[in-house]
């Protein structure tokens, strides 16, 4: 990765020279949290929202940010510039762990958090997928009960995503107690009779920043919204479905478990929100 820089514990380092301890608790226990921030032509999109969520996640797992939020924002901007991404669509991956200490479950007496940022070109869905839509499968939601914390412990999500890939689908959608929660790396929206449904931002989902933007846009467009879980048995009867996420943006879903959604093509409400989101990003 010649020429690529990362930010590690307050310093900018070449990618190949950045090192983490073999006893970092993020590696040993998944004792850490993260954020992925979209950068549009050098400007971070909704950075304040991402940093606010980072602070909420940190408080939930009793982690202290080693630097003020303003410093993190400045470092993310400087890292993007160092990697020559000012004119690109990029992402900044930020991870915070409880740091390195001899392995024991209890917190170290004097934790020294590890803070890492990586900035790279964004990998958005191909234009064809954004235009024609994608397929998803449903899988049991067997994750822990703190899905609202953006934890690096993502093994259930990884396994679900792999199951989707092996099924020829774009995403796996979780179902808990007969209700749809979210995707393995996305939030899910459904449309029934012109009303937009999505799971409430409680402990069973990660309240996505893109999800919040879409809800704002729906309000501006006077689209009726119900933040309420959809019964899995109703999912196949939705008029429209779409996914949201930092790099997913607003992505139509046209098949669930091999069955067509609505007409089998992206619906009009999805298109309106897709366009409104792109305009918001440009603005």
**Does residue 203 sit in the same domain as residue 133?**
yes
The per-residue pLDDT for range 233-271, each reduced to its tens digit, is: 999 999 999 999 999 999 999 999 999 999 999 999 999
User: Do residue 89 and residue 198 come from a single domain?
Assistant: no
Shared domain check, 253 and 204: yes
Supply the angle between the helices 209-220 and 268-282 in degrees, to the nearest 10.
110
Q: 58-112: per-residue pLDDT in tens?
A: 999 999 999 999 999 999 999 999 999 999 999 999 999 999 999 999 999 999 9
Pair 131, 250 in one domain = yes
Distance of alpha carbon 24 from the chain centroid: 24
Contact 173, 188 (CB under 8 A): yes
Which of 73, 88, 121 marks a domain boundary? 121
For range 141-153, the mean pLDDT: 97
> Do 237 and 265 lie in a common domain?
yes
What is the CB neighbour count within 10 angstroms for residue 176? 19
Q: Which of 90, 121, 152 is the last residue of a domain?
A: 121
Lookup: tokens for 275: 């366009």
Domain that holds residue 179: 127-282
Helix pair 69-82, 47-60: axis angle to 10 deg: 120
User: Looking at the 3D structure of the chain, how many domains does it have?
Assistant: 2
Q: Please, which residues have CB within 8 angstroms of residue 154's CB and are 6 or more apart in sequence? A: 30
Q: Are residues 114 and 152 in the same domain?
A: no
13 is catalytic: no
**Domain end marker among 64, 94, 121:** 121
One domain for residues 139 and 277: yes
Per-residue confidence band for 1, with pLDDT thresholds at 50, 70 and 90: very low
Q: What pLDDT score was predicted for residue 3?
A: 59
pLDDT band for position 54 (cuts 50, 70, 90): very high
| Cβ–Cβ under 8 Å, residues 268 and 218 | no
- Nearest in space to 39 (alpha carbons), one of 124, 165, 162: 124
Contact 137, 167 (CB under 8 A): yes
Please indicate, yes or no, whether residues 99 and 159 belong to a single structural domain of this protein: no
Q: What is the CATH number of the domain that holds 79?
A: 3.30.470.10
172 and 149 housed in the same domain = yes
Query: Is the domain of 137 the same as that of 76?
Result: no
Catalytic residue of the set 13, 121, 129, 150:
150
Q: Are residues 57 and 170 in the same domain?
A: no
Does residue 145 sit in the same domain as residue 213? yes
pTM of the predicted model, to two decimals? 0.94
């Amino acid at each position: 990765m010649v020429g690529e820089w990362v930010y590690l514990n307050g310093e900018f380092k070449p990618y190949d020279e950045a090192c983490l301890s073999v006893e970092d608790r993020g590696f040993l226990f998944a004792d850490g949290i993260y954020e992925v921030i979209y950068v549009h032509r050098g400007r971070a999109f909704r950075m304040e929202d991402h940093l606010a969520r980072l602070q909420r996640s940190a408080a939930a797992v009793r982690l202290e940010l080693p630097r003020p939020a303003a410093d993190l924002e400045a470092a993310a901007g400087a890292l993007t510039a160092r990697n020559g991404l000012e004119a690109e669509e990029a992402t900044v991956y930020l991870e915070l762990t409880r740091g390195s200490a001899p392995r024991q479950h209890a917190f170290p007496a004097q934790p020294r958090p590890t803070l890492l940022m990586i900035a790279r070109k964004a990998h958005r869905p191909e234009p064809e997928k954004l235009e024609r839509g994608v397929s998803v499968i449903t899988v049991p939601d067997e994750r822990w009960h703190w899905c609202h914390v953006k934890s690096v412990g993502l093994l259930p999500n990884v396994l679900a995503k792999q199951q989707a890939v092996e099924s020829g689908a774009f995403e796996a959608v979780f179902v808990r107690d007969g209700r749809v929660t979210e995707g393995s790396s996305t939030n899910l929206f459904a449309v029934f009779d012109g009303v937009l449904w999505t799971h409430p931002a409680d402990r069973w989902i990660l309240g996505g920043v893109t999800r919040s933007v879409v809800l704002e846009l729906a309000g501006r467009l006077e689209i009726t919204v119900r933040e309420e879980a959809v019964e899995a048995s109703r999912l196949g009867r939705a008029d429209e479905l779409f996914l949201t996420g930092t790099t997913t943006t607003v992505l139509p879903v046209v098949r669930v478990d091999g069955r067509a959604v609505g007409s089998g093509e992206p619906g009009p409400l999805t298109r309106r929100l897709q366009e409104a989101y792109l305009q918001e990003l440009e603005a």
